[in-house]
Chains A and B, each alone.
Chain A
């Protein structure tokens, strides 16, 4: 379960490029899994952005939600929610939350980042186990997976040469993972509701056994200013799949 959650989220991490992240943006994807050579649609993945104001500060609320299509709910229901509150300009996270339900398995996580970003206070609860609290040190550049997704969108990959990589550190399950995103060039692909679009092709690798193969975890993001991730292909130890943009608004 942990692997599935990580992989789904991880795959989503790398579809993004050079743009200012707007509030009220909504991107909807159809998630498919390759079964015996045929893609079967399993779930809907929705990404939202929203401005949240407190008495002291303004945050950008970034959320990622995965829900299985109703036809699958009786067999393997998924209701996953990943969210983070970030600085609207730097996209540095202050609060990250993960609440997953995957076929009966549940887990909640809350990370509160220190002001300098060097430590995290986490609160975790797995299915039937008691809640645990932990404080641990992280690198100042470490991000949660969702803010990482959006940060990636602000990178100007057009200045990169094919083969050149950007590196990041993400924190997941209270562990840090180095992640590399390789720019592979420009391709024109069908971008669902956006029609045919020129896209930047990116390859994602991470020092984890959760992603498989070389250049098999790929993301295509539009080469325009909105940098919308339109197609994500992933390869994991138990198979391959993809996320295809099915609806986009506020971009």
Chain B
């Protein structure tokens, strides 16, 4: 059982890291939350000299949790300035006016 908890915790910890890096926002809490639970269970089921890996996983999940919280609070949703897009809009409008003159 302990092995299952550890392997699952590692899997979800990796998933949590990926979700934290990707701009998925609070969705990352799902794998992180599962990792937290699994790592606690793994620690509980481990003998004292077997607790190192579950503790590392627990530390990673807490870290990713804090990173996600930080991103949610401090990273603003903004649209990057896109010069090509803006230029296309201006050119498109000129073309449109030509078409409209012909109607």
Q: Which residues of A contact B (CB under 8 A)?
A: 30, 35-36, 38, 40-41, 43-44, 52, 54-57, 59, 61, 67-73, 75, 79, 81, 83, 85, 94-95, 97, 99, 110, 112, 115
Contacts and interface: CB of A to CB of B under 8 A. Distances in A.
A69 B79 contact: yes
Interface residues of B, number: 25
Contacts of B22: 75
B78 A67 contact: no
Contacts of A67: 79, 82, 85
Chain B contact surface mostly = helix
Interface of B: 22-27, 29-30, 75, 77-80, 82, 85, 88-89, 92-93, 96-97, 99-101, 103
Contacts, number: 75
29 contacts: A35-B24, A38-B26, A40-B25, A41-B25, A43-B79, A44-B77, A52-B97, A52-B100, A56-B101, A56-B103, A57-B100, A57-B103, A61-B93, A67-B82, A68-B79, A69-B77, A69-B78, A70-B80, A71-B77, A79-B85, A83-B92, A83-B96, A85-B96, A85-B100, A95-B99, A95-B100, A97-B96, A99-B88, A115-B103
A212 B17 CA distance: 33
A135 to B, nearest CB: 15
Given A54-B101, A69-B78, A97-B92, 6 more contacts: A40-B27, A41-B25, A43-B79, A95-B96, A95-B99, A99-B92
Contact of A71 (B23, B92, B101): B23
**Among all A-B residue pairs, the 6 with the closest Cβ atoms:** A71-B23, A70-B80, A69-B77, A67-B79, A40-B25, A54-B100
Given A41-B25, A55-B101, A73 B80 contact: yes
B79 A71 contact: no
A115 B102 CA distance: 12
B23 A75 contact: yes
B103 A94 contact: yes
Contact of B78 (A35, A70, A95, A112): A70
B79 A70 contact: yes
A41 B100 contact: no
Contacts of B89: 81
A97 B95 CA distance: 11
Contacts of A38: 25-27, 29-30
Nearest to B103: A94
